[in-house]
Chains A and B, each alone.
Chain A
Amino acid sequence: MAVYLEFEKPIQELQEQLENQKQVKEKSKLKSDDSIKELEQRLIETKKEIYAGLSPWQKVQVSRHPERPYTLAYINAITGGDFIELHGDRGVRDDKAMVGGFGSIDGKTFMFVGQQKGINTKMRQYRNFGMANPEGYRKALRLFRLAEKFNKPIVCFIDTPGAFPGLEAEERGQGEAIARNIYEMFNLKVPVIAIVIGEGASGGALGIGVADKVLMMEYTWYSVISPESCSSILWRSWDYKEIAADALKLTSDNMLGNGLIDGIIKEPIGGAHSNHVEAFESVKAEIIKQYDSLKRLKPEVRVNNRIEKYSSMGVFVEGD
């Protein structure tokens, strides 16, 4: 049973009409499918129309759509199954909210790392809703170093509502784990590409997000805080999330406009959840394109450019 967001109701209605028509056609063995074709056309038009006018808050909702593809789905599709998942941080345990391993795209090996959300209620708990603990970030760092050792480029998939704010996470140094990753990612000599495929929440996202090229899928968000938490802190109420989403300028086009990311990956009509295969193809094509341009640079040039890029972020006035 497909899940529809509130503003997707017209899409749902058309989709249901379409299913009915198809059933009618099946039963009555009619040759003509004009009405079906018309409905299909209207469905596409409606999706285009609705998705062209999404508010920032609606984009946040799309980014969290339960039928959106998650990290492992991307990796499996992009590598055609030529992927070996690697586990554990070699210290505490295997964090199920952070996954990674070697895989190949058209014969070229990459290291893939990303936060993983669960596909159903049980799995969402198993994956801790994509909120990694310190051992998740340390597992990611271990995999980055492994990639470095064998000179393989790194692709990170960002999809997290935040680093886990639990008691044990604090005991094991959540802050230090994220800080260490950010720092070490500036030392990586191999090309690094990071793609926000869903939610890019704050330090939890940045902990695997320092890259030569940072890309956002069209209907995702990336900021310092979720609109809900921002509303609760600045407005002291949960009711201002739409306004907060607007104020935070967290959408892909705002982030690109502010020079804080390097590109946007277009999503299929109606969002990645409505056509996984097309989303996988776009992401794969973008990874290949970015890697082809990054591999031409000398490692020290890449590192330097990476440092320069982040060093130039910020808006301030010199004063007198």
Chain B
Amino acid sequence: MGWFKRMTEGIRTPTTEKKETPEGLWYKCRSCNHVVSSEEHANSLWVCEKCAYHERISSLQYFQVLFDNNRYTEINPHMISGDPLSFEDTKKYADRLQASIRKTGLHDAVRTAAGNVNRKKVVVACMDFQFIGGSMGSVVGEKIARAIDYAIEHNSPFILISKSGGARMMEAAFSLMQMAKTSAKLTQLSEKKIPYISMLTDPTTGGVTASFAMLGDVNIAEPGALIGFAGPRVVKETIGKELPEGFQTSEFVLEHGFLDFIVDRKNLKERIGQFLSLIKN
């Protein structure tokens, strides 16, 4: 009599659930564990072909999705934060910035560029979550402000893709005032009757939701994104009970009337092109 008895024959763990997937070559869906080659994953615009989970992607990847032939001109690509408060928590903000710049190859949490979407010239600002949680400090505010100036100067529609935890604490009130600054610029854009499409992606919370992200002529979102003012943990602590299923998802926000539509990434470019045509013609 052995210690163990095989009850069923054969190995039943699907290979997709095996843990050792080599980095780089393969992509395993965070939602359904489906595995595809990285190349296929890129071809489906980083959306899971099985469950349609939209992976969080970078500004460069969104530019690739949107701009014709992936051609565009970046605006103010080298601007970096000035650390106005010489802020220090467990780490110096200056060091944190340097580390983030080294690690991500980005200069701050937003990239702005001009180019064509379906042969229509546009200005796109896109946030990068990898850079200190996509937080908004002086650089994010200034780059968005200048992108709006550029859009006004060239009479180009403005598209802003948000992906942010909110204002950047290490720039304290300077960060807070970026909410006012970006909103002020949007009044000037609106004055010129230039369309502004705000696209909310996973996640968009805090001071970004409470300023430019909610101020689009149309607000649109990717499916399943976390969108809210207070983070879910804070809301949970406030009400002292579990949050309802689907709370603060794109679908929830659409249902409550704060989004115009939800768009799959594969249709994004076409829908934006269509919207701009309808406005223009």
Q: A247-B87, A319-B107 are in contact. Are A166 and B176 (CB under 8 A)?
A: no
Q: A169-B230, A234-B90 are in contact. Are A311 and B145 (CB under 8 A)?
A: yes
A26 located at the interface, meaning its Cβ lies under 8 Å from any Cβ of chain B in the complex: no
In the bound complex, residues from chain B placing their C-beta under 8 Å from that of A255 are 173
Does the CB pair A314–B211 fall under 8 Å?
A: no
In the bound complex, residues from chain A placing their C-beta under 8 Å from that of B248 are 170
How far is the CB of B64 from the nearest CB of chain A, in Å? 24
How far is the CB of A91 from the nearest CB of chain B, in Å? 11
Does the CB pair A172–B256 fall under 8 Å?
A: yes
How far is the CB of A131 from the nearest CB of chain B, in Å? 9
How far is the CB of B61 from the nearest CB of chain A, in Å? 23
Does the CB pair A165–B235 fall under 8 Å?
A: yes
Does the CB pair B174–A258 fall under 8 Å?
A: yes
Count class of interface residues, chain B:
35 or more
In the bound complex, residues from chain B placing their C-beta under 8 Å from that of A207 are 210
A171→B180 CA distance, assembly (Å): 23
Does the CB pair A316–B80 fall under 8 Å?
A: yes
How far is the CB of B18 from the nearest CB of chain A, in Å? 34
Q: A170-B228, A174-B230, A318-B79 are in contact. Are A248 and B184 (CB under 8 A)?
A: no
A283 located at the interface, meaning its Cβ lies under 8 Å from any Cβ of chain B in the complex: no
Does the CB pair A179–B167 fall under 8 Å?
A: no
Does the CB pair A203–B169 fall under 8 Å?
A: no
Does the CB pair B230–A223 fall under 8 Å?
A: no
Does the CB pair B79–A310 fall under 8 Å?
A: no
Does the CB pair A317–B89 fall under 8 Å?
A: no
In the bound complex, residues from chain A placing their C-beta under 8 Å from that of B169 are 224-225, 230, 233-234, 248
- The winner among A164, A240, A260, A316 for most chain B CB atoms within 10 A is A316
Partner of A248 from the list B107, B172, B179, B209 (CB cut-off 8 Å) is B172
Does the CB pair A182–B176 fall under 8 Å?
A: no
A306→B181 CA distance, assembly (Å): 10
A85 located at the interface, meaning its Cβ lies under 8 Å from any Cβ of chain B in the complex: no
Does the CB pair B81–A182 fall under 8 Å?
A: no
Does the CB pair A170–B186 fall under 8 Å?
A: no
B7 located at the interface, meaning its Cβ lies under 8 Å from any Cβ of chain A in the complex: no
Does the CB pair B83–A315 fall under 8 Å?
A: yes
Closest to A225 in B: B169
A87→B123 CA distance, assembly (Å): 42
B157 located at the interface, meaning its Cβ lies under 8 Å from any Cβ of chain A in the complex: no
In the bound complex, residues from chain B placing their C-beta under 8 Å from that of A249 are 85, 172-173
In the bound complex, residues from chain A placing their C-beta under 8 Å from that of B138 are 313-316
Interface residues as binary, B75-92 with A (CB distance below 8 Å gives 1, 0 otherwise): 011111111110111100
Q: Which residues on B are within 8 Å of A, measured CB to CB?
A: 76-85, 87-90, 107, 137-139, 141-142, 145, 167-181, 183-188, 206-207, 209-215, 228-230, 234-235, 238-239, 243-244, 247-248, 256-258
A-B contact pairs, 17 of them (CB 8 A): A167-B239, A170-B247, A179-B183, A179-B215, A183-B187, A202-B207, A203-B176, A210-B180, A222-B173, A223-B172, A224-B175, A247-B85, A247-B172, A307-B184, A313-B177, A316-B82, A319-B78
- A176-B258, A210-B184 given. 13 additional CB < 8 A pairs? A166-B239, A169-B230, A170-B248, A172-B256, A175-B214, A179-B179, A179-B211, A186-B183, A224-B167, A244-B89, A248-B85, A248-B172, A310-B181
Q: Which residues on A are within 8 Å of B, measured CB to CB?
A: 163-167, 169-176, 178-180, 182-183, 186-187, 202-203, 206-207, 209-210, 222-225, 230, 233-235, 240, 244, 247-250, 255, 258, 260, 306-307, 310-311, 313-320
